[in-house]
């Protein structure tokens, strides 16, 4: 893959996150990137650093993936860059933006439930819907959605009921959309990481972290680069016959 296509990546600006590692890996593989994040200033900084480090076109813009108006505005901003020739055509959409809910069920509130569902599940729906028509028109595209091992085994890492439910919704979304888009040249897949070394578990205790690492057959949590490699593989030309797949990146912590 050369820089002839742009990967649109949400949730790609937190310093130690999976999104930024994925944006960097796309750039290393020759893709242009559009970095979308709630932290819009930071998204612009990340985009600039990607261009200077990897020499590919990059664009950063604010988005709240749970807000349709904000998603459409971000889509319009990215497509304006494509129309102006500053970014190549959109070839991939990677829905990484997400929030967790490390709260026991009876302590959850409807507001928490809605926010976790909105950012993780509705955000995936809105961003995919906004960018999909261009990929269908061009006859080639890749969508990768960020689920979690929590969807498959009912939490057990850090996110609990709302998070597991939202990430499970993403798996159903992925499979149904893959089926519907089958003939279009656009594939739709999901990744289900186990515990990854990012700031999302910032509130977890040393005891929880030791318990998490001890429960993983390979004996450690994943690096963000290991998750990024799985995502960019699913966006590569080599993955052309994979659609509707759930790709586990969990060090053996959930074996089917």
Ligand X SMILES: NC(=O)c1ccc[n+]([C@@H]2O[C@H](COP(=O)([O-])OP(=O)(O)OC[C@H]3O[C@@H](n4cnc5c(N)ncnc54)[C@H](O)[C@@H]3O)[C@@H](O)[C@H]2O)c1
**What is the binding site for ligand X (CB under 6 A)?**
10-11, 13-14, 17-19, 37-39, 63-66, 96-100, 119, 123, 146, 148, 193, 195-196, 198-200
Which residue number is nearest to ligand X in terms of Cβ?
A: 98
Task: Specify whether 163 is catalytic.
Answer: yes
CB of 61 to ligand X, least distance (A): 10
Q: Which lies closer to ligand X via its Cβ, residue 140 or residue 158?
A: 158
CB 91 within 8 A of CB 9: no
CB of 59 to ligand X, least distance (A): 15
Q: Which lies closer to ligand X via its Cβ, residue 98 or residue 251?
A: 98
CB of 237 to ligand X, least distance (A): 25
CB of 128 to ligand X, least distance (A): 14
* Annotated active-site residue in 26, 140, 158, 163: 163
Q: Which lies closer to ligand X via its Cβ, residue 114 or residue 179?
A: 114
Q: Which lies closer to ligand X via its Cβ, residue 5 or residue 201?
A: 201
Buried b (16+ CB within 10 A) or exposed e, 58-91: bbbbbbbbbbeebbebbbebbbebbeeeebbbbb
CA angle 217/218/222 to nearest 5° reads: 115
Which are the catalytic amino acids? Answer: 163
């Amino acid at each position: 893959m050369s820089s002839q296509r742009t990967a649109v990546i949400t949730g790609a600006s937190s310093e130690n996150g999976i999104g930024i590692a994925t944006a960097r890996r796309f750039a290393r593989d020759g893709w242009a990137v559009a970095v979308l994040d709630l932290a819009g200033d930071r998204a612009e900084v990340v985009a600039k650093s990607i261009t200077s480090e990897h020499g590919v076109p990059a664009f950063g813009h604010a988005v709240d993936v749970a807000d349709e108006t904000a998603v459409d505005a971000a889509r319009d901003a990215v497509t304006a860059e494509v129309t102006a020739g500053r970014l190549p055509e959109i070839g991939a959409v990677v829905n990484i933006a997400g929030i967790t809910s490390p709260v026991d069920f009876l302590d959850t509130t409807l507001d928490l439930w809605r926010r976790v569902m909105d950012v993780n599940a509705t955000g995936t729906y809105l961003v995919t819907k906004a960018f999909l028509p261009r990929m269908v028109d061009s006859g080639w595209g890749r969508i990768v959605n960020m689920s979690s091992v929590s969807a498959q085994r009912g939490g057990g890492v850090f996110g609990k009921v709302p998070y597991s439910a939202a990430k499970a919704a993403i798996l159903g979304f992925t499979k149904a959309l893959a089926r519907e888009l089958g003939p279009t040249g656009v594939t739709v897949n999901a990744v289900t990481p186990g515990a990854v070394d990012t700031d999302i578990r910032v509130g977890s205790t040393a005891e929880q972290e030791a318990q998490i690492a001890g429960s993983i057959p390979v004996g450690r949590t994943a690096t963000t680069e290991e998750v990024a490699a799985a995502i960019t593989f699913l966006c590569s030309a080599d993955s052309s016959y994979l659609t509707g797949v759930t790709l586990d990146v969990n060090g053996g912590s959930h074996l089917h």
